[in-house]
Chain A
C-alpha cells in the first residue's frame, strides 16, 4: 500500500514530465511541420504570383500577335491570285508590310484541304491542321511538324472571306502567323530563380507541347500529367488535388521530389489559348530569402522550445525533489511513529517478558521448592546409603537447576535493565572479606592452595554496588576453584589505583589459577552467553555457560573492564578493573546474615496455597520447634490473624501468589486491621517464588518486613525470621 502510494507520488510528476516533454517534442514537430507548410504555402504563393505575372505578360504579348493576325486577315481576305507564285509573292509582301521578321514570325495560308503555303510555296498538308477543326475561328497552339522546320507558337485565324487561287479557285480558308517560340521566351521565362526555372507548354490533355530550360527536362515525359501523377509529393498533396485547384483557380502549385531533388511546379492555364503553362523550379531556388527566414525562425523557435522543455524538465525534477523531501519528512515522522510504536511494543513485550520471567520464576521455583524441600527432608531421615546417594544426586541436580534458573533470570534481567547499577557507600575491605568468606566455603572440601594479596585502600569508602562487585568476584573465583584440580593454586590479588581526577580509584582484582585453562579460540568467546568449551566430560565441571556473560555484563554495568589470559593446561588469569568514586560517607553496617536465635515455640502463621510447599515448610519449620498455622489463601490468613487474639502469632510467612487474595493484598489487609495494635507490628515475611529484586521491593512496599525466595533455604529462613523478631520486641 505504502509502496503503491510512493509509486503514485512519483508516477504523477514523472508522467506529467513525460507528457510535457512529449507534448513539447510533438509541439516542436507540429510547429516545424506547420511552419514548413506555411513556408511551402508562402513559397507557393510567391511562385504563383510570379507565374501569374508571367501569364499576364505572355497573354499580353500574345495578344499583340492577334492584332497582327487581324491585320493580315484584313489585308488578304477575299483576294484571288491567279497563280501559286502570285500567292506566294503576296505572302512575302504581307510579311514585309507587317514586319513579321521583327517578331520572329512567318505568314502561312492554308487551303481547304490543309495544304500550307509559305512565301516559298506549298509545303504539303500541314500536320497540325487538325487543331483548326474544333469549330472556333481562332486557334493558338504550339506546332512542331515535319512540314516546317522549327517550333512555333501558332496564331491561326479563319479568313473572313476565303482567298482563292488559280483557275480552279483553290480555296484558302485560314491565315496563320507562325511565331518562332524562342522569340516569346521573354514572356515565359524569368530570371528570378537564377535561370533554374524550366518552362513547359502543355496541351490541354497534359501532353508536352514545348519545353524550354537551360537544364535537361527533369520530368522527361510526353504525358506530363501522368508523370506528375506518379511523382512523390513532399507535402502530401496529390495531382488530383492540384488538378482540382487548377480547374478551380486557374493556377496551382505543388512541391514534388524528382530523382531525389525537391522541386516546385506551378501550373496555370492559358485559357484563351487552350494551353497550360508550367514552371518547374528546384525548391532551393524558390523564395530563398523566405526559406532562410523560415529556417532561422524554425531554428530559433526550436531552440526556444528546447530550452522550455529543458526548463520544464528541471521544474519537474525540482518538483520531484520537493516531493521527495516532503516524503522524507513524512517518512521520518512515520519512522518516529514506527519507532515509538516499536518502543511501545518493545516495552509491552518487555513487560510481557518480565511477566513471563516472573511467572516462570514463580512457577519453576514452586516445584523446585518442593523438590529441594522434600529431598532435604528425606536426607534428614537417615536413609539407606543407596537412597542417600540418590537423594544427594537429586539435591545436586536441583541445586544446579536452580543455579541455571537464577543465571538465566539474571542475564535476562540485566539485558532488560531490571538490574541496575546502584552505587552506595561501601567499605572496600568488607567487600573483599565477604568474597573471601564465600570462597573459603568453596574451598572447604578441596585440596587447593589459595593465595590472597589484598592491598589496603587509601580511601576506605567508595561509592559502588557491593552486590555486583561481590557477584563478579565470586563468579570468577568460583570458576577458578571449579576448574582447578586438587593440588593446584588459586590466587586472589586486589590493588587500588588512583583515578584520573583524584576523586576516583580503580580497584583491580586479579584472580589466577593453575587450572585447566582455555584454548585461545574459546577465550575469544568466553563472555558470550552459553559458551562452554567442549571438554569431552562436561559433567566434570558443571556450569550454565552464563556465569562469565553475567560477570561481563555486571562489569560493564559498573563501567569497568574485564580481561582474561589463559593457556590450555596451564591456567587462567582474570583481571577486573572497576572505577569507584571515593566517598567520605561510611557504609551502612550490615547485620550478620543468619541468626542463631532459638526459634522454638514461635507461633507462625503461614499463608501458602500450594499444599506441597505448605507441607515442606511446615515440616522444616516444625523441625525447628516452631508452631505453624497454615492459611490456604490470602483471605484465610487475614481471617485467621483477625480471629485470633492479639499476640497469638509471632510472625507471618506470606506467600504472594495465592487465590482469592494475593499476599500483597493480604498484608495490606492485616496491616489495616482496626483494633489490632499488633497488626501493624507483626513481622510479615514474604515467602514466595517471586524472587526478583522488584519482587522484594513490592513485598516491602506492601508492608512486609522481609523476603524469602523459594525454594526456601532453611538457613535463610532462620536468619530472616531471627532478624525480624529481633527488630521487634517479642511479646
Chain B
C-alpha cells in the first residue's frame, strides 16, 4: 500500500515536473525563450551576449571584438543607456553576459550588485588607478563596474569664428559671457545647446557650478547622496548652483526655444557658423569641425576665475559582467579576457578614436588631438569633474532646466524646491500600462532571423504607413517577454538614443543599393559585424549569403517575388542618423528624408498602450545562406 502510494506520488511528481517543463516551455516560448541561450555554445562557439550602451560601439568596437575572439559567437544588443535597463533584464532572468552603460551612479548600480561579478581582485581591476577604482568600490570592497576612458565634456568654440569677429577666446566666466554678448551683437548665437536632451540639461546645470560642486561642501553632499544618506539637494551647495544657472541662462540668452532644440540643432548651427559655441564632447570636436575647415577648441566650463574652470567628464561607458555562468572557470576566464580586451589600449583606441579621451588606467596612453590641447593642463591638475549621473539626476535636471528656460520656474529657490520635490516623489512611468500576450526571442537564427526585431519592424510598418521598413535588429534590446509592462519597461525593449526614423521614397533599385551598402559597410555606426547586428526587413524579404568576411545580398523579394526595381516605395529606415543614414542616402542618391517621425519606442507605446493592441507577429524576412 505504502509502495503504491509512493509510486503514485512519484508519478504525480513526475507528471508535475513534466507539466512544469511544459509550462516552462510554454512560458519560454511566451517569453521568447529568454533565459536559455546565454551560456550555450553555438556551432561550438561560446555564446556571449554583450549589451552595448550606444550605437557608437557598432562603429568598429564590435567588429574589433569579433575579430579578436573568433571562437565566440557574440550577440550584441543596443541597450537602453541606463543601469535600470539591466534591472529590467534581471527581472526576466535574462541578464546579458557583459554589461555596458554610460549613465552611471553607484547609487543606481548597487541594486544590481548581487547579480554582478566582483572584479575587485582581478588583474583587470589592478590596472586602474586606485583613486578611480575607489569610486567604484562598495563598502564591502566589491567592485562590479570598471570605467573605460573618460569622455570630456565642455564648451566647443569655433576659434576661427572668434578670430574673424575679433572676439577674445574666453578664459573665465566673465569673458565667456562677454564673448556671447559680442557674438549676439554680431548676429551670431554665442552659445547654444540641445536642452531637449536630459544629459545636456544636467551637464550644463552642473558644469556651470563645478567649483561649488567640487568644494568640500559639495563633495560631502555628493558622498551623502550617492551613499543614500540623503535624498535631497543641499541648499548650501545647490542653491548657488541654481543661482549660477539662472545667471548663465540669463547672460547667455537661453530661452524657451532652447528647451526644444534637439541634439542636431546646435551642431548644425555650429557647422553653419551661426553659433560660436556649443556644449559638446571630444567626439563632437571631431564630428563637427565648424564650417569644415574651422579651428575648433574644446574649452572647460568656466568659473569665476581661470582657477575655477573645470572640464566635465564621465567614463565613455562602464563595463560589468553578470555573475551567471562565472562559476565555470573557463567561461569566467573568457569573459574576463573579453572585458580586458574591451578596456585595454587597443579597445580604448576603438572607443576614443585614439585622441579625444582621457584614460583611467595605468596601462593605457591616449594621445589628445590638437583641438584638445587646452585639456592637457587640466588633466595634469586633475581638474576633471565627474558628473553626478544618477538616473533621477538626468530626468529631474531636464525637468527643472526646461522649466527655467520656459519661465515656469523663475527663482533659484523655486528651482531647488522643485528639484527636491521631484527627488522625493515617485518615479514616473512605473505603473503597468500594457500587456504583451506573445513573447518573441531576439536570438538570431538563420531560419527565422530575429523574431523580436521582426515583430517590432512589422509593428512600425503597420503604424507608420510606410510600405517597407528596414532596421538594424540589435536596436531591439532584449527578448520581447510576454507579460505586463510599465511605460519604462516598454522603453527598455527598443529605446536607444542613437536610433532614429528616416522616412523616404525609394525605388526598388535604391533599396537594393541600400541593402548592399549596408551589408558591405565598415567603420560606421550602422555596420554589420555578425548575425546579431544584421538588419531586419518588414514588407520584403532578403536573400543573403554569409561569406568568410561578411555578407552579400543575393536578392530582395516581396511575397516571394523579386522586388520590383523600378517601383517606388515609401521606405522607413530605422537606425543611426548622422553616420549610417547619411552614408546610405549618399549611396542611394537620396537627399530627402523625414526624421521627425516617432521613434521605435513611441510606436510600441502607440500600439500597446494607446491602442491597447498587440505587436504585429514576426515574419520570416531573411534567407541566410
Contacts and interface: CB of A to CB of B under 8 A. Distances in A.
A533 to B, nearest CB: 75
B130 A124 contact: no
Contacts, number: 93
B300 to A, nearest CB: 13
The size class of the interface chain B forms with chain A is 20 to 34
A136 B100 CA distance: 36
A207 B139 CA distance: 10
Interface stretch (A221-229, A256-264, A671-679): A221-229
Given A145-B131, A222-B126, A114 B141 contact: no
A644 B121 CA distance: 141
Interface stretch (A31-39, A125-133, A468-476, A524-532): A125-133
B159 interface: no
A183 B478 CA distance: 56
B171 to A, nearest CB: 14
B220 A127 contact: no
Given A132-B216, A144-B130, A205 B139 contact: yes
Given A170-B307, A222-B126, A205 B214 contact: no
Contact of A134 (B137, B139, B223, B308): B223
Contact of B216 (A112, A145, A170, A222): A112
A226 B118 contact: yes
A125 B214 contact: yes
B134 interface: yes
Interface residues of A, number: 37
Given A113-B214, A113-B308, A207 B220 contact: no
A147 B215 contact: no
A170 B304 CA distance: 11
A114 B219 contact: yes
B142 A114 contact: no
A205 B140 contact: yes
A588 interface: no
Contacts of B131: 127-128, 130, 145-146
Contacts of A170: 307
Interface in B201-240: 211, 214-216, 219-220, 222-223
A221 B121 contact: yes
Contacts of B382: 124-127, 147
A168 interface: yes
Interface string B309-324: 0000000000000000
B215 A113 contact: yes
A173 B216 contact: yes
B211 A113 contact: yes
B133 interface: yes
B223 A223 contact: no
Given A134-B220, A207-B141, A222 B133 contact: yes
Contact of B120 (A122, A127, A128, A223): A223
A135 interface: yes
B381 interface: yes
B383 interface: yes
Interface string B90-128: 000000000000000000000000000010110001100
B121 A130 contact: no
Contact of A223 (B142, B216, B380): B142
Nearest to B308: A113
Interface in A98-139: 112-115, 122-130, 132-135
A206 interface: yes
B380 A124 contact: yes
A228 to B, nearest CB: 10
A269 to B, nearest CB: 15
A227 B126 CA distance: 14
Contacts of A174: 216
Contacts of A126: 382
A205 B304 CA distance: 38
A506 B142 CA distance: 121
B143 interface: yes
A205 B141 contact: yes
Contacts of B133: 222
Interface string A146-174: 11000000000010000000001010011
A146 B120 contact: no
B137 A112 contact: no
B148 to A, nearest CB: 18
B120 A222 contact: yes
B140 A206 contact: yes
Interface string B134-173: 1101111111000000000000000000000000000000
B137 A205 contact: yes
B121 A129 contact: no
Contacts of B135: 130
Contacts of B121: 221-223, 226-227
Contact of A207 (B137, B307, B380): B137
Nearest to A84: B307
A225 B222 CA distance: 27
Contacts of A112: 211, 215-216
Contacts of B139: 205
Given A124-B380, A205-B141, A146 B216 contact: no
B565 to A, nearest CB: 61
A73 to B, nearest CB: 16
Interface in A169-223: 170, 173-174, 203, 205-207, 221-223
A227 B121 CA distance: 8
B305 A168 contact: yes
Contacts of A124: 380-383
Contacts of A206: 140-141
15 contacts: A112-B216, A113-B211, A113-B214, A129-B216, A133-B220, A145-B130, A145-B131, A168-B307, A174-B216, A207-B120, A222-B120, A223-B120, A225-B141, A226-B118, A226-B120
Interface of A: 112-115, 122-130, 132-135, 144-147, 158, 168, 170, 173-174, 203, 205-207, 221-227
Given A168-B305, A223-B118, A223-B143, 7 more contacts: A113-B308, A115-B381, A125-B383, A130-B219, A134-B220, A223-B121, A223-B142
